[in-house]
Structure 1
Amino acid sequence: MPIDAEKAVAAEPRSTRISWDHKDVQLYHLGIGAGADPDRADPATDPGELRYTLESRLQVLPSFATVAGAGAGVGAVGGLSSPGIDVDLADVLHGAQSVRVHRPIPVKGSAVQTSKVAAVYDKGKAAVLVLRTDAADDEGPLWTSDAQIFVRGEGGFGGERGPSERMVHPAVAPNHIVERPIRPDQALLYRLSGDWNPLHADPEFAGLAGFDRPILHGLCTYGMTLKAVTDTVLGGDVTRIRSYRTRFTGVVFPGETLRIEMWTGGNEVRVEVRAVERDNAMVLGDTFVEHS
């Protein structure tokens, strides 16, 4: 069997030293649409966008943690090479993602990133891998992230089914709604931050995975959504973000428009994201931003 759950969970954590600087941060922010906010008259030079794109004013969205050091073969896709796991990328989809930051991510840094398979769940027709990553520098912990990877055709091995709780759609109208267009080339730009899965660039490979064209990275939608929440609810201040989690409920295609709905209350923003051109089909659900 391509997935040996017991072996995968028992494997020793893998540690890798990673580093990044302002160019990596700027590239990531551009990949999630920074400098192209349609609500700004001149987004390329608007002060609200320059904090994501200009090195002298730069701040780091916590979702950057999902790609930091990705050139070193870490992150969700890198975790698929762990002992006990041998799967075909055409069968892999990103099911959920969470990031908790222990303090603001510096614009330039170096850290030791430790990754492990925290759990393997049996969903019957599929397996779900929970890949956990902790990063720390000389000053202490920086972030903890969990990626849930859905592997089609690898279930049925008699393992624990795992959590399946779903949140109920809010009964009231959202406090904020924004729309964010996705450029036709956005997946090609985003993948330069380190996610080289051909599902997002190669039409032939996308066809093998059951799609008629390449799809956008789920983590690109994830980053675009956090930026929209930060700019709309948190005054553009990324240091207020404590944690961010989502469940990927549907695919997004380059060229579509995201409708991002936000419900605010206390220290939390609840979010749902939909694809406008496909009858507002939901693409992110069970999404929460915890903030100060």
Structure 2
Amino acid sequence: MSLNHDLIGVPSEAVRRSWTSKDTLLYAVGCGAGHDDPLAELSLTTENSHDIAQQVLPTYGVLVASGGGGRKLGDFNPAMLVHGGQEVELSRPLPVEGEVEVTSVITGIEDKRSGALISSESRAVDVATGEDLVLSRSQIFIRGEGGFSDGTTGGSPAPAHEWVLPEREPDLVAEMPTWPGQALVYRLSGDRNPLHSDPVFAARGNFERPILHGLCTYGISARALISGLADGEVSALTAIGGRFSAPVTPGDTLTVRAWRSDDGDVTFQTLRSDGTVCFDRGTARV
């Protein structure tokens, strides 16, 4: 098994991606919107509520900016691949429906000894206006694919952000329940990896049962920040990022703890019900 290091720094061909109102509604529901209170987030879950315009959960930008590339990263066991980190920045609120042109590039492959950390960057340009819409930075970790060098091989790892947990009580503590079948809904937004649905495949990755998509936890965290720090104003969240640090089992209750600075920057963590941090080094702009 080996990874294709020749892909580092080589831009992909542009790929067009489109979405509809139905796609963004399904995504929001998959991230838990409306599950506990069907009246609480109608701008995310409906398109025809009285005096409420449909809006798009900002983390959907990751899906908008996906699909660039199509190149083979290498030969490895897909059950050993997990999402390592994710960051998305929006130039403006995402439209309910639209079409973009996406290009991507692998920016680095790091040897972490226990596995390989692959960093990539994708840009989505609005086809209708020619303007940048989404910048997405992702990291995936492939367990068992390390040991190929003494450090980073080619390219550069994702830029490190100075991150310090504030030494005071958080401005927001929000409990965000998940439900046992949530991964089965979230996967309908495009990530059909059987790690999140097939117990046999999950066992190949050394998981006792299918786990929740990391990007679902990401979307849940965004919902908490919007509700707790922006009074439900979806467009107020323009950037969000962090690292996936532990798997989540569907049905667990997550807790988002967030600290807001005077300039609108937010530091946050998302924890499982056992206290384990599952989304770490969280940053957002609200």
Q: TM-score of the superposition, structure 1-length normalised? A: 0.88
SS at match of 1:55: coil
Within-5 A mapping of 1:216-255: 216-255=212-251
User: Match for 2:255: what amino acid?
Assistant: R
Kept in 1: contact 2:65–2:124 (CA 8 A): no
Distance 2:285 2:167 in 1: 20
> Is 1:275 matched with 2:272?
yes
User: Match for 1:176: what amino acid?
Assistant: L
Structure 1 match to 2:84: 95
Q: Tell me which of 42, 45, 48 is aligned to 1:53.
A: 45
RMSD: 1.9
Q: Percent identity between the aligned chains?
A: 37
Kept in 1: contact 2:85–2:242 (CA 8 A): yes
Kept in 2: contact 1:11–1:83 (CA 8 A): no
Structure 1 match to 2:4: 4
Q: Tell me which of 126, 134, 142 is aligned to 2:123.
A: 134
Structure 2 match to 1:147: 138
Between 125-134 and 21-30, the greater mean CA deviation after superposition: 125-134
User: Match for 1:234: what amino acid?
Assistant: A
Distance 2:65 2:235 in 1: 21
User: Match for 1:171: what amino acid?
Assistant: E
Q: TM-score of the superposition, structure 2-length normalised? A: 0.90
Q: Tell me which of 109, 122, 125 is aligned to 1:120.
A: 109
Between 179-188 and 149-158, the greater mean CA deviation after superposition: 149-158
Q: Tell me which of 260, 282, 286 is aligned to 1:287.
A: 282
CA deviation vs aligned residue, 1:102-125 (integer Å, no higher than 9, x gap): 111100101111122121111122
Kept in 2: contact 1:126–1:152 (CA 8 A): yes
Distance 1:165 1:108 in 2: 32
User: Whose helix proportion is higher, 1 or 2?
Assistant: 1
SS at match of 1:24: helix
> Is 1:16 matched with 2:15?
yes
Structure 2, unmatched stretches of 5+, are none
User: Match for 1:98: what amino acid?
Assistant: E
Structure 1, unmatched stretches of 5+, are 38-42
Structure 2 match to 1:157: 148
Structure 2 match to 1:28: 27
Q: Tell me which of 185, 188, 191 is aligned to 1:189.
A: 185
Shift of 1:166: 7.2
Distance 1:91 1:273 in 2: 23
SS at match of 1:219: helix
Distance 1:225 1:10 in 2: 31
| Count of residues in Structure 1 that have an aligned counterpart in Structure 2 | 274
Structure 2 match to 1:206: 202
Between 59-68 and 199-208, the greater mean CA deviation after superposition: 59-68
User: Match for 2:60: what amino acid?
Assistant: F
Distance 2:182 2:65 in 1: 20
Q: Tell me which of 65, 87, 109 is aligned to 2:98.
A: 109
Shift of 1:208: 0.7
Distance 2:139 2:169 in 1: 30
